[in-house]
Amino acid sequence: MQANEEEKVTMVKCILCKKKAIQGLNILGSFICHECERRIVALNVADEGYDYYIEQLKLIWHRS
């Protein structure tokens, strides 16, 4: 590739927040954006939203 050519960047839709992002995790064919990944890592069981993330993550295994 020449120095002046732009790299093609693919935006992928996050299965959790439904936003399109470039960076994140691909798990069994499902994409989790970097922002959602950070939220999940910081979650405690008592946090609001914990149950939502757990249920959405379960869907990854049910889809595969």
* Greater model confidence, 41 or 10: 41
Asked, for residue 16, whether it belongs to a domain, the answer is: yes
Q: Are 14 and 31 in contact (CB under 8 A)?
A: yes
Q: What pLDDT band is residue 47 in, cutting at 50, 70 and 90?
A: very high
Work out how many domains the chain is built from and give that number: 1
Report which of residues 52 and 1 the model is more confident about: 52
Average pLDDT, the chain: 89
Residue 3 domain-assigned (yes or no) = no
Task: Specify the pLDDT at position 1.
Answer: 46
Give me Rg for the CA atoms of the chain.
Answer: 15
E strands in the chain? 12-13, 20-21, 24-27, 30-33
Residue 34 falls within a domain, yes or no?
yes
26 domain-assigned: yes
Domain hosting 20: range is 12-63
Give the length of the chain.
64
- pTM comes to 0.77
- DSSP secondary structure letter of residue 60: H
